[in-house]
Amino acid sequence: MNPSPYSNDQYTIGWISALNEEFMVAMAMLDEEHGRPQSTPQENTNIYHLGRIGDHNVAMACLSGGQMGTGPAAIVAENMRRTFKSIRFALLMGVGGGVPGKGKDIRVGDVVVSYPSGTYTGVVQYDYGKLKGNCHIQRKDWFSAPPSFIDELGEEYIYPEASEALDRLYQADQGHVPEAETCDSCNTHALVPRKPRKFPSKLCIHYGIIASGNVVVKDGTERERIDQRYENSILCFEMEAAGLMNNFPCLVIRGMSDYSDSHKNDQWQNCAIAVSSAYAKELLSLIGPSDMEVLPPIARISSHKPH
Ligand SMILES: [Zn+2]
């Protein structure tokens, strides 16, 4: 990979992927590829891929091989801050486990975006003490993902065929048949009846609270228990955001790949990666250079040592 024609200080947006598969799709979202950074501090362990989306120079990085959780995410962000001193904010990308519930029609293949309000940053660390306050925030939007993005990525990224059949939401207390590879033998009477979407080709984007922690939630009862603790406001679970939110302004964008229960499988993962990346690209194309000028560079906000 060649060095970028632009200096590190000319990059204003960070894009952090959790998994390597997500990083590959992220790179495909670039309108122009720039290559690697001109220089990186010695202690920087991130691998970067630089390029342009819309009017913005974007520095992309990925958590290193198989690492997950808030600690590794904080280290990636800290390295990024040191290396690209003009970055204004980052997009924290990846998949997440949806938390459907009353008034929350979240489905696999949808996108959840952290939406700050009141005392909440849009992210709660559910495995770290108790949070107080009121967190009834939810907005919803529709986004018709330009199909060309997804087509260009290849067949494995489109919505799974007969998606209606595969999008199965079980009642929270109805666990998966132990050891079974698929849900074919799971009790169909335990499915939560849901109406088909009016416009199945349009994604639903949900804005609100994302719950972040170091443990994967894959139990329906546990999902509901944590959600209740936060007044049923949680839209999805993920594992990195809490490592960044206090020190690194970022927007968390998660594609829903499962329902955080024991029926969790990988069928929707590629689709979830594709839709969240397409949404992020669309979002960056809507932000003008003048919108960025009002934001201070992260490097000046605070310095934070990862733990
Ligand atoms: Zn199952």
Tell me the pLDDT tens digit for each residue of 13-36: 999 999 999 999 999 999 999 999
- What is the arithmetic mean of pLDDT over 191-217? 85
Whether 2 is in a domain gets the answer no
For the stretch 64-106, pLDDT in tens is: 876 888 889 999 999 999 999 999 989 999 999 999 999 899 9
Q: Compute how many other C-beta atoms are within 10 angstroms of the C-beta atom of residue 303.
A: 11
Residue 139: pLDDT band (50, 70, 90) is low
Give the model's pLDDT for residue 131.
Answer: 42
Residue 177 CA to ligand 1 center (angstroms) comes to: 6
Q: Does 1 map to a domain?
A: no
34 CB-near residues (< 8 Å, 6+ apart): 4, 5, 6, 50, 51, 52, 57
User: Torsion angle, CA of 198/199/201/207, rounded to 10 degrees?
Assistant: -90
Structure tokens at 299: 């490097």
Highest-pLDDT range among 116-120, 161-165, 239-243: 239-243
Task: Decide: 233 and 208 in contact? Cβ < 8 Å.
Answer: yes
Q: Cα of 224 to ligand 1 centre, how many Å?
A: 17
Q: Which of 84, 69, 92, 80 is nearest to 15 (CA)?
A: 92
* Centroid of ligand 1 to alpha carbon of 182 (angstroms): 6
304 domain-assigned: no
Question: Distance from the CA of 210 to the center of ligand 1, in angstroms?
Answer: 24
Is there a domain that residue 244 lies in? yes
Query: Is 56 domain-assigned?
Result: yes
Share of the chain above pLDDT 90, in %: 54
Q: Which own/partner contact pairs does 189-195 have at CB distance under 8 Å and 24+ positions apart? A: 192/100, 194/105, 194/107, 194/169
Average pLDDT of the residues in 297-303:
69
CA of 258 to the centre of ligand 1 (A): 11
Q: Are residues 275 and 232 in contact, defined by beta-carbon separation less than 8 angstroms?
A: no
User: Which range is least confidently modeled, 66-80, 141-155, 284-298?
Assistant: 141-155
Contact 126, 212 (CB under 8 A): yes
Residues 76, 257, 274, 180, CA torsion sign = positive
Indicate if the pLDDT at residue 166 is higher than 90: no
CA–CA separation, 293 and 273 (whole Å): 29
Domain count, the chain: 1
Q: Residue 235's pLDDT is what?
A: 94
What pLDDT is stored for residue 135 in this prediction? 43
Residue 307 confidence (pLDDT): 40
Does 108 or 245 have the greater pLDDT score? 108
33 in Cβ contact with 109 (< 8 Å)? no
Q: Which residues pair with 209 in a beta bridge?
A: 234
| Residue 306 lies inside a defined structural domain of this protein | no
Instruction: State yes or no: pLDDT of 140 exceeds 60.
Output: no
User: Average model confidence (pLDDT) for the chain?
Assistant: 85
From the number of C-beta atoms within 10 Å of its C-beta (0-12, 13-18, 19+), residue 266 rates as: exposed
Q: In angstroms, rounded to a whole number, what is the distance separating the alpha carbons of residues 20 and 14?
A: 16
Amino acid at 272: A
Distance from residue 161's CA to the centre of ligand 1 (Å): 18
279 within domain boundaries: yes
Query: 203 falls in which pLDDT band (50, 70, 90)?
Result: confident
222 alpha carbon to ligand 1 midpoint, in Å?
Answer: 16
Residue 192 CA to ligand 1 centre (angstroms):
13
**34 falls within a domain:** yes
Place 299 in a pLDDT band, splitting at 50, 70 and 90.
confident
Give 121's pLDDT tier (boundaries 50, 70, 90): low
Write down the H helix ranges in 87-243.
Answer: 147-153, 163-166, 220-229
Segment 140-144 mean pLDDT = 56
- Per-residue pLDDT, averaged over 140-157, amounts to 60
Whole-number pLDDT of residue 305: 44
Q: What would the pLDDT profile of 229-285 be if each residue is shown by its tens digit?
A: 888 889 999 999 988 876 788 889 999 999 999 999 888 999 999 999 999 999 998
Question: Position 291: which residue type?
Answer: D
Residues measured by CB to lie within 5 Å of ligand 1, the ion:
176, 183, 186, 263
pLDDT of residue 169 exceeding 90: yes
Contact indicator for 271, 160 with CB cutoff of 8 Å: yes
Q: How far apart are CA 145 and CA 167, in angstroms?
A: 19
Q: Which domain CATH number covers 24?
A: 3.40.50.1580
Ranges 142-146, 210-214, 232-236, 262-266: which has the least confidence: 142-146
Domain boundaries, position 107:
8-297
